[in-house]
Amino acid sequence: MLAYVIRRVFQSAIVLLIVGLVAFAMFRFVGDPVDNMLGQERTQADIERLRDRLGLDLPFPVQYWRFLQEAAQGNFGLSYRQGRPVSDILIERAPATLELAAVSGVLALFVGIGLGVFTAIRRRGTAANLIMTVSLIGVSLPTFLIGILLIYLFSVELGWLPSFGRGEVVDLGGWTTGFLTISGLKALILPSITLGLYQMTLIMRLVRTEMLEVLRQDYIRFARARGLRERSVNFRHALKNTLVPVITITGLQLGSIIAFAIITETVFQWPGVGLLFINAIQFVDIPVMAAYLMLISVMFVGINLIVDLLYFAIDPRLRVDRTGGGGK
Amino acid sequence: MAKTVLSVRDLVVEIPTRWGVLRPVDRVSYDIAAGEILGVVGESGAGKSMTGNAVIGLLDRPAQIAGGEIWLGDTRIDSLRGEPMRKLRGRRIGMIFQDPLTSLNPLLTIGDQLTETILEHLPVTTAEARARAIAGLEEVGIPAARDRIDSYPHEFSGGMRQRVVIALALCAEPELIIADEPTTALDVSVQAQIISLLKRLCRERGVAVMLVTHDMGVIAEAADRVAVMYAGRLAELGPVREVLTRAAHPYTAGLMASTPLASQGRERLRQIPGSMPRLGQLPEGCAFHPRCEIAQDRCRLGPSPHIEDGSGRASCWYPLHNMEKEDA
Amino acid sequence: MTHGTATRTRTQRLRSIWHSDFVYSFRHAPVAVASATVVLLMVLAAVFAPLIAPFDPFNPATLNLMNGFTPPMEPNAFTGESFWLGTDDQGRDVFSTILYGMRISLFVGFSAVMLALVLGVVLGLLAGYLGGWTETIIMRVADVQLTFPAILVAMLIFGIAKGITPPEYRDQMAIWVLILAIGLSDWVQFARVVRGATLVEKNKEYVQAARLIGRAPLAIMLRHILPNVLNPVLVIATISLALAIIAEATLSFLGVGAPPTQPSLGTLIRIGQGFLFSGEWWILLFPAATLLTLALSVNLLGDWLRDALNPRLR
């Protein structure tokens, strides 16, 4: 098992190195960094000094190494557009995105698994079919449209909930939270439903497919043949086996919530990292794009790693040896 | 003669399809007495497994019992559905599946799977259930059962797993065991052990066993009586020595001639020409007539004689051996 | 036997197609028939948009600013002109802009899927058939890319491409950059399935035999392996089409896609969102409903196709 963990950590490091290379290449080759960082009034001396400070004349691998070192310390340079250190901007905006993602993730996970199990067990029932049809509409409905629809219904027509922003936030030593005020919580409702809904449908459909597959397995037939109650067959026997394959994809889904936050944050003008990123793309603010890319990669790779290690907790076959596990 | 445990009368199983209704089991009748092993033999698709599934009430949709009666002791069970049928499964009818690798839940210890079954059916405490589970494992020949009860299925070999499966089928002390190809997935050396285990348990506990297999060798080794199925119909039914040595139905005779039984190993193996028809394309009259060397007009036109337990032995107008004397 | 098949007439052959499992299940799936019809109609409407649209929304000569904000089916207060689905702020007929927008959405969607398909199938075949380093590199790249959501990858590619194109060409190139971004973000699915199928087929005896008699690898891949992966590729392509249409709409909505000069459905929704609070609902609603209908129909079709071509999952 230890060997496996080491190998996974090693693989994660390689992924991060590759992403770092992409980020660095963006920084280095998309547009001219010197051009972008100096204003209109610049002297040849300014250019030389900046080239020297950025190390643009050094060999490529050395530049890449320096970039990685800086990135590891959270230093991504100055935003072309705002002229402030990228890391400051990110730290300032991270709480908004993380709180939104956390609420959406919990929503998507619990409701998604619940509905998935329900539709698998009541496969031919009317309610299950209805949920499946609605979920297909959910998959076809782009996130931004869901957001607009919710705004139209609950903000424009009913006037119950705010249509943009985080509401009042409380500053807890650098971490701004919307959890502690009524208006902050109200402001969270629509964005988190918008963000969570798509992931929820995906998780639900995935759980359903896997569960139907598991329900076809011999050990489920055998459990039935032993006269176990349906509840025990479905939840004790089937659900646990369903969750093993589901857990990876679900982990990835939850990770991608951070990425999909870009869309939700744009619709609701939510002052998070995603809105920052989309603005960065519009204005070709490369340092912000690169930093966002690195940040999100660290998160994804971290989630992937955790998910992989979670397998060991759930599947006893893996605890013994990796190669010996037969079946799926 | 011991008391009859299972009595199947004119059982019909139907599958409605868009090409019409298929009959994988067509008016099949047999009895099994306590302490008796009835071998049900036939090619794949002959309807032998379907018969077993019908008895335990686990037919896969859209297959359904369309006629006949199934009696377990004094209870008529073919009409039972839902909760009453579930309480019967495991408690009065145990089932053993073909592949021990897939019939145990990989994520639960064998102890968990045994105790949940015992607790479901018998009025005992958890501690008593565990003691029973250990006793059950010892009975089927698991060495050091006390230490191994908390192991996961993947920690056992195939043969050992099949012993666990048998322990599971027997743990609530059923009167009838349906063993569906219990040795097919095992190594030859292990097959013999499992067969003798089944025989021993059958004798000691007085359980009735329905042994479904395509392997004539297993039948010869284990069964007291044998039912030969062809294309969903009962071709021949009788004491195993009678049927094996003096087959009355031409299909049984052909089956014997094509099987390398140790006792008759001198002759060259013969094949039955052609193959079993698909259910949608059954010929008129006797289903075997297109492949039968002695078929007459009578075989092609009307249905062949119907056999019930105790009346006649082969469903054939021109049996190869006379059947006045049934008992050996 | 051979004689029998040789004399089979054309009608018989058509009849056998009509009665094949595939067509049978299609005819008996009302949802599939309905969604296929809707998709077909929408594609036709998009292709023939210039003939169908009552106005050319991009010809300034035909526009009258006085017609701005005309509600659907009501004559304009100033000019008395009436529009089926109303007009937007610049007096453009919403119905016409939707037709043209759908044209761009479908064009980007189809092109992106084609790009992803060709790229994925070729790389998947190479990875599966050649193995070794080729396979390692291709599949590693696929794994890394799969770690990230496609929409993020597409945004990133769009951002980079935007950085590379000179500002004065950005609007002109936007459509092609979109196709590139969405196509490149979506090839992995194809590559994985094709590689998997290739690995299975490669070891089958007929392929081994073809290799032994010295058929060129390319010929083997095209003649023997490719036909076996067509079904799953078709399913993935259909589902990808829905995803690509949604991805395009999302990017355009976020302002990093089709420019206002060439609005796709997403751009129209972006424009319409601005009028949500002021009561001009039709500028938003009709493009949104069109997008939803299109994506849903393609999804339903893909869903049915997956079930029909993959009986195991039914």
**DSSP string over A266-283:** HHTT--SHHHHHHHHHHT
Min Cα–Cα distance to chain B from A150, Å: 42
Among the partner residues C149, C158, C292, nearest to A256 by beta-carbon distance: C149
What's the structural domain count of chain C?
Answer: 1
What residues in A contact C288, CB-CB < 8 Å? 145, 148
**B94–A314 CB contact, under 8 Å:** no
Nearest CA in chain A to B55: A225
Give the pLDDT confidence score for residue C116 in this predicted structure. Answer: 94
Give the CA distances from residue B186 to residues B119, B194, B195, B217, in Å, rounded to whole numbers and listed in that order: 30, 9, 11, 14
C250 vs A144, A277, A296: nearest CB: A144
pLDDT value for C119: 93
Q: What is the average pLDDT across B197-208?
A: 88
> How far is it, in rounded angstroms, from Cα C46 to Cα B187?
64
- SS3 for C3-14, per residue? HHHHCCCHHHHH
DSSP state of C87: B
Query: pLDDT tens for residues C34-74?
Result: 888 888 998 888 888 788 777 777 776 666 666 666 777 67
8 A C-beta contact, residue A257 and residue A193: no
- C282: closest CA of chain A, how far (Å): 13
What distance in Å separates residue C58's CA from the closest CA in chain A?
24
Q: Is the peptide bond before B106 cis (omega within 30 degrees of 0)?
A: no
Domain residue extents for chain A: 103-282
Least confident stretch, B45-59, B120-134, C54-68: C54-68
Helix H or strand E encompassing B33:
strand B20-33
Distance CA B233, CA B252 (A): 13
CATH of domain A103-282: 1.10.3720.10
Whole-angstrom distance, CA of residue C127 vs CA of residue B280: 43
What part of A 207-226 touches B (C-beta under 8 Å)? Answer: 217-219, 221-226
Please, what sign has the CA dihedral across residues A42, A48, A53, A57?
positive
Q: Considering only A101-105, C30-34, C101-105, which range has the smallest mean pLDDT?
A: C30-34
Q: What is the pLDDT of residue C113?
A: 94
Name chain C contacts of A18, Cβ cutoff 8 Å: 144
Alpha helices in chain B (DSSP H): 48-56, 82-88, 110-121, 126-139, 145-148, 158-170, 188-205, 216-222, 240-245, 250-257, 297-301
Note the pLDDT of residue B100: 83
Q: Give the other-Cβ count within 10 Å of A230's Cβ.
A: 13
Does the pLDDT value for residue A323 go beyond 70? Answer: no
Q: What is the pLDDT of residue A37?
A: 66
Asked whether residue C61 is assigned to any structural domain, the reply reads yes
How far CA C67 is from CA of A93, B285, C83, C118, in Å, comes to 43, 82, 9, 46
Phi-psi region of A276 (alpha: psi -120 to 50; beta: other; left: phi over 0): alpha
Q: Which residues pair with B96 in a beta bridge?
A: B179
- Alpha-helix residue ranges (DSSP H) falling in A141-239: 143-150, 182-215, 218-225, 230-231
Instruction: Determine the Cα–Cα distance for residues B149 and B130; give it in Å rounded to an integer.
Output: 9
Least confident stretch, B25-29, B167-171, C169-173: C169-173
Encoding tokens for residue A230? 């349906």
pLDDT over 90 (residue C107) = yes
> What is the C-alpha separation between C287 and C290, in angstroms, rounded?
5
Q: Cα separation of A265 and A273, whole Å?
A: 8
Distance CA A82, CA B313 (A): 95
From the CA of C307, how many Å to the nearest CA of chain A?
12
Q: Tell me the pLDDT band of B192, cut-offs 50, 70 and 90.
A: confident
Q: Residue B325's pLDDT is what?
A: 44
Higher pLDDT, B2 or C42: C42
Mean pLDDT calculated for residue range B194-207? 88
Mean pLDDT over residues B235-239, rounded? 83
Pair B100, B167: CB distance under 8 Å = no
Mean pLDDT of C1-18: 59
Confidence category of residue B1, pLDDT binned at 50, 70, 90? low
- State the CATH number of the domain containing residue C243: 1.10.3720.10
Question: Rounded to an integer, what distance in angstroms lies between the CA atom of residue B311 and that of residue A271?
Answer: 86
Q: Are B186 and B196 in contact (CB under 8 A)?
A: no
Cα angle, residue A128 at apex, residues A122 and A132 outer, rounded to 5°? 135
- C20 within a domain of the structure (yes/no): no
- Test A326 with B169 for CB contact under 8 angstroms: no
CA A22 to chain centre: 19
Residues of A with CB under 8 A from a CB of C: 15, 18-19, 26, 30-31, 136-137, 139-145, 148, 151-152, 156, 163, 209, 252, 256, 259-260, 262-263, 266-267, 277-278, 280-282, 284, 286, 289, 293, 296-297, 300-301, 304
Range with the poorest average pLDDT among A290-299, B223-232, B297-306:
B297-306
CA distance A135 to A201: 6
> What SS3 state is found at B34?
coil
The whole-angstrom separation of Cα B282 and Cα B45 is 13
C19: in domain: no
CA atoms of B74 and B84, how far apart (whole Å): 15
At residue C111 the predicted structure's pLDDT band, cuts being 50, 70 and 90, is very high
pLDDT tens digit sequence for A267-293:
888 888 889 988 888 887 888 888 888
* A140–C273 CB contact, under 8 Å: no
Q: Is the pLDDT of residue C2 over 70?
A: no
Around C314, how many Cα atoms within 13 Å sit in the side-chain half-sphere? 10
What pLDDT is stored for residue C123 in this prediction?
92
Region of poorest pLDDT, from B2-6, B280-284, C114-118? B280-284
Q: What is the pLDDT of residue C114?
A: 95
CA distances from B270 to B217, B253, B266, B273 (A): 16, 10, 12, 9
Rounded CA gap, A279 and A80, in Å? 12
Q: Pick the more confident residue, A82 or B176.
A: B176
For residue B204, the tally of other CB atoms under 10 A from its CB is: 10
- Closest residue on chain B to A243 (Cα): B107
Q: Is the per-residue pLDDT at B262 higher than 50?
A: no
Compute the average pLDDT of residues B288-292.
77
**pLDDT score of A319:** 60
Q: B146-175, pLDDT tens digit by residue? A: 888 888 888 888 888 888 988 888 888 889
Let me know if residue C270 belongs to a domain.
yes
Specify the higher pLDDT residue, B93 or C283: B93
CB C165 within 8 A of CB C177: yes
Which residues in chain C have their CB less than 8 angstroms from residue A141's CB?
Answer: 292, 295-296
| Cα B48 to Cα C211: distance, rounded to the nearest angstrom | 43
Cα separation, A68 vs B198, whole angstroms: 67
The DSSP H or E segment spanning B28 is strand B20-33
Which amino acid is located at A73 in the chain? Q
CA distance C227 to C224: 6
List the structure tokens of B319. Answer: 């049996």
Contact A219 B152 (CB under 8 A): no
- Tell me if C185 is assigned to some domain: yes
**Is B39 strand, coil or helix?**
strand
Would you say residue C162 lies in a domain? yes
ipTM: 0.82
pLDDT in tens, B68-102: 888 888 888 888 888 888 888 888 899 998 888 88
| Residue A322's pLDDT band (cuts 50, 70, 90) | very low
**For residue C106, what pLDDT is reported?**
92
- The mean pLDDT value for B206-232 works out to 87
> Do the beta carbons of residue A145 and residue A264 sit within 8 Å?
no
pLDDT digits (tens, 9 = 90+) for A109-149: 889 999 998 998 888 788 888 888 888 777 778 888 888 88
Residues of chain C contacting residue A259, judged by C-beta atoms under 8 Å apart: 148-149, 151-152
Is the Cβ–Cβ distance between C294 and C102 less than 8 Å?
Answer: yes
Residue B241 has which token pair?
A: 């020595």
Cα–Cα distance list, A226 to A215, B106, B123, B124, B172 (Å):
15, 16, 16, 17, 9
pLDDT of amino acid C80: 63
CB contact under 8 A, A222 and B107: no
Gap between the Cα atoms of A273 and A287, Å rounded: 14
- By Cβ distance, the residue of B89, B94, B105 closest to A219 is B105
Using an 8 Å Cβ cutoff, are B34 and B204 in contact? no
pLDDT at A193 over 80: yes
Residue C272 burial (10 A CB sphere; 0-12, 13-18, 19+): buried
Range of the domain at C287: 25-313
Report d(CA C146, CA A298) in Å as an integer. Answer: 15
Q: Which residue on chain B is closest to A238 by alpha carbon?
A: B105
Is the separation of the CB atoms in C284 and C275 below 8 Å? yes
Instruction: Return the residue in A30, A80, A140 with the most chain C beta carbons within 10 A, the one to mutate for interface testing.
Output: A140
Which residue segments constitute the domains of chain B, with CATH numbers given? Answer: 4-92+174-246 (3.40.50.300)
**Rounded distance between C-alpha atoms, residue B253 and residue B165, angstroms:** 34
